[in-house]
Amino acid sequence: MRVLFTVSSWPTHYAAMVPLAWALQAAGHEVTALCSPSQVAPLSATGIVPVPVLDDWEVNVRLRLQYYEEAVNGHWPYPWLPLHPVTGAPLKSLDDFDRTEFELRHAPVYAERTAKGFDAGVAFARAWQPDLVLHDPASFEGILIAELLDRPAVLCLWGPVGTHEPAHMSIVPQDHSKSFPRYGLKPFTPDMIRTVIDPCPAAIAPPTPADRLPMQYVPYNGCAPMPGWLLKPPDRPRVCIAWSTALTATAGARSYLLPELVRATHDLDVDVVLTATAEDVAALGPVPASVRVVERLPLRLLLPSCAAVVHHGGSGSTLTSLWAGVPQLLPTFASEQTVTASRVAANGAAVHMLGHEANAASVRAALERLLSDDSYRAAAGRLRTQMRSQPTPADLVATLEKL
C-alpha cells in the first residue's frame, strides 16, 4: 500500500503522525510526505521521505491574522493588542492594520502561492497514485487529493482541539485559494472531514462529527543524546520548564515568560530543569545555580522523572505530559492552547491561567498546589491510563489497511 502524508509547515503539527508513519513503513507500506521546502530537514530527520512541493502562507502571518480577528470580534482575552498580522510589530490600535489593504495587496499573493502548492501536490499524487491519504488539520491538501483520486482521507488530530470548534478557535483553515472549486469540487468545509485519528485520552476527546479512530499517543519530540544525569532519580521533586520557541513571533514579547518562571522557583525545594532553545536561554541571561539548563532535550526523556511541568499549552507538550502522567501548569497566550489547557484542567490534571495572569507569585502558588495536592497526579495518572489503553500506531495499521 502507498500512503501519502500531507503536512503543514510547523513540525509540532505533524509530530503525532511520525510514529504512525514508522508503523506503516515497518508493516511494509510505502510512505511519503508532501511538505513545504522548510520541512525537508525535520521530516528527513524522522526517516519519512519528504516531497517538498507545497507552498502556503507563512505560518506566523496566518496565526497573527487569526489573533487580530479575535480582537476585532471581542474574543481576545489579553489586556494588550495582538501583533500586526504582516509585520509582527505591536499594534497601538486595531486601526493600525488595514484589512482592506491586506485583502488587496497581500491576500492574493498568499492565495496564489497556496494554489501553486495544491497544484503541485495534485500532480505528484496523480503520478504516484497513493492508496490512502493522511493529513494534519492545517494541511487540507490531503482532502483535495483524496477527493480527486477517489481515495480515503484521514485527518490526524494533533491534540484536544477538534474539527468543529467555534470560528475564533478553529484549527481547520479556509480555502482562500479556491482550489476545491478550481478542480470542480464543492467549496471546502470541515464537514468534508469524514475520518479522524484521535491521539487524546477519551476524557478530553476533541469535538468532531467524523468517524473517530482512537490511537495511543506515542511521543516524538525530536532526538538528542540522553544525558547521564537522567538515569539517576532526583533527590528532590523535579520541575520541568519547557517554553515555546515560537510564541514571541505570534503572541509578542510579553509571552516570553522564562524570567518569571525561573523567579517563581526561587527557594522552592525542587530540582528545576529548563529546556529551551539557545536563543531563549541567551535572552534569559544568568540563571541561578539551582536551575539546570539543557537545550532542546526531548520531553519524552525528561518528563518521566518529573513531579510537575510548566509549558505554554501546546498540544505536543500537553500530550507528552499526559503520556508521562505529570501534572501541568499551563499559562496560555493563544486560543488553541487555551482550549487545550482548559480541557486538561477541567479533568483535574493541570492548573491553567491566561498568560497575562502569570507572574512569579502566581506561578509559584500554582506550582506549590501541583506539588502538594496529590489529586493532580492522580488525575494525570487516570488520563495516562486512558491514553495507554488505546490502540498503538502499530495496532492501527490493520484498520487503515481496511479503509
What percent of the chain stands above pLDDT 90?
89
**93, pLDDT greater than 90:** yes
| 298-332 confidence digits (pLDDT tens) | 999 999 999 999 999 999 999 999 999 999 999 99
Give mean pLDDT, residues 138-166: 96
Reading the block at residue 52, the C-alpha cell is: 517538498
Give mean pLDDT, residues 331-360: 97
Give the span between the Cα atoms of 271 and 268, in whole angstroms.
9
Q: Say what the pLDDT of residue 245 is.
A: 66
At the second CATH level, the architecture of 2-215 is: 3-Layer(aba) Sandwich (3.40)
**To the nearest 10°, the Cα dihedral for 74, 78, 84, 85?**
-60
**To the nearest 10°, the Cα dihedral for 195, 198, 204, 209?**
0
Residue in 204, 120, 208 with CA at minimum distance from that of residue 384:
204
Q: Say what the pLDDT of residue 278 is.
A: 82
Between these two residues, 395 and 249, which has the higher pLDDT value?
A: 395
Cβ neighbours for 174, distance < 8 A, ≥ 6 positions apart: 188
**253, pLDDT greater than 70:** yes
| 16-27 confidence digits (pLDDT tens) | 999 999 999 999
Give mean pLDDT, residues 66-91: 96
Beta-sheet pairing, 238-242 with 308-310:
parallel
Q: Say what the pLDDT of residue 276 is.
A: 86
As a CATH number, domain 228-388 is 3.40.50.2000
Q: Say what the pLDDT of residue 284 is.
A: 86
Sheet holding 195-198, edge to edge: 49-51, 30-34, 2-6, 132-135, 153-156, 195-198, 211-214
Give mean pLDDT, residues 30-43: 97
Residue in 245, 263, 192 with CA at minimum distance from that of residue 42:
245
In the predicted model, what is the mean pLDDT of the chain? Answer: 95
Reading the block at residue 39, the C-alpha cell is: 520541512
Q: What is the pTM of this model?
A: 0.96
**56, pLDDT greater than 90:** no
**371, pLDDT greater than 80:** yes
104 DSSP assignment: I
**96, pLDDT greater than 90:** yes
- Which residue ranges does the chain devote to CATH 3.40.50.2000? 2-215, 228-388
Sign of CA dihedral 351, 354, 358, 361: negative
Q: Say what the pLDDT of residue 366 is.
A: 98
| 39-55 confidence digits (pLDDT tens) | 999 999 999 999 999 98
